[in-house]
Amino acid sequence: MKTSTCLRLVILLAATVNWHCAFADTPPNSLKAPPLQDWQVRRADLDHAIIGARKNDPESLKRFDQILTEMEKHPHDRTPLEVLDVIGTYYMPNEGIEKSLTITVTQLVLGWYDVLRFASPSGRAEVIDNEQFFLRAMVLSGDDAKNKSFKFLNDHPDQVAQLVAKGVTYAEQFRDAPSYDRQWPTAYGLERMLCASGDAEKCKARPSLPKDQWDAAWAEAKKTVTDYFVTKN
Q: What's the rounded Cα separation, in Å, for the pair 55 and 207?
A: 43
Residue by residue, DSSP assigns 70-133 as: HHHH-TTSS-HHHHHHHIIIIIHHHH-HHHHHHHHHHHHHHHHHHHHHH--HHHHHHHHHTS-G
Please give the distance of CA 69 from its chain centroid, rounded to a whole number. 18
Domain borders along the chain are 5-16+37-229
Per-residue pLDDT of the chain (233 residues; tens, 9 = 90+): 444 443 444 344 444 434 444 444 444 445 566 788 999 999 999 999 988 888 889 999 999 999 999 988 888 899 999 999 999 999 999 999 999 999 999 999 999 999 999 998 999 999 999 999 999 999 999 999 999 999 999 999 999 999 999 999 999 999 988 889 999 999 998 776 666 666 555 555 556 899 999 999 999 999 999 999 997 64
Q: Which residues contact 135 (CB under 8 A, 6 or more apart)?
A: none
Total-model pTM: 0.82
Q: Are 123 and 115 in contact (CB under 8 A)?
A: yes
Q: Which residues contact 171 (CB under 8 A, 6 or more apart)?
A: 105, 106, 109, 110, 222
